[in-house]
Amino acid sequence: MVSEELIKKRTTPLLAAEAKSLLEKWLSPLILTGQLGGEGDDTFTIVHLESDLSSLNSEVFYKLMKLDPGDDNQVISKTFDPVQFWSKVASYHKRIGKNSDEAYAVGSVLKTLKEPMGVVLGKDGSPSDSKHPVYVVGLTADGDLFGVR
């Protein structure tokens, strides 16, 4: 089991090279599980954009990610509670008996983010309807956008 002490040590500061490397290691075996529909069975990657933000909302997300809200493939089509979402990801991995420690460790890191948000991109019925990127992001203490895709 991954200890809380190790998580705190490895994530302070959150974006230290060691912490990022450890988070990548934890993420690599995890899958999305299809709980949001056609987004299932994707693997996760780290999202990190240096910025100096004090708040996060959909407009800021669009700007930082260089997305066009007028593009059906890039519009936020769903929002969701990121804490509840990650809890389901961790529960799924526990239920199948694989990588639950890693899933819970990633969840612990994500809980340190300020103003967390969960979004799914791509309007249903758009040309890229079969793929809807899912983001669980928030702000670090220094105002960077950080999370997982």
Among residues 93, 98, 112, the alpha carbon closest in space to that of 9 is found at 112
Residues 38 and 46 sit within 8 Å (Cβ to Cβ): no
pTM (2 decimals)?
0.76
| 65 Cα distance to chain centroid | 14
State the burial class of residue 59 (Cβ atoms within 10 Å of its Cβ: 0-12, 13-18, 19+). Answer: exposed
Cα–Cα dist 69/121, whole Å: 10
Cα–Cα dist 106/23, whole Å: 7
pLDDT at 33 over 80: no
Residues 49-58 pLDDT 10s:
888 899 999 9
Residues 49-102 pLDDT 10s:
888 899 999 999 999 999 998 988 899 988 999 888 888 888 888 888 888 888
The 8-class DSSP code of residue 43 comes to B
Cα–Cα dist 117/18, whole Å: 25
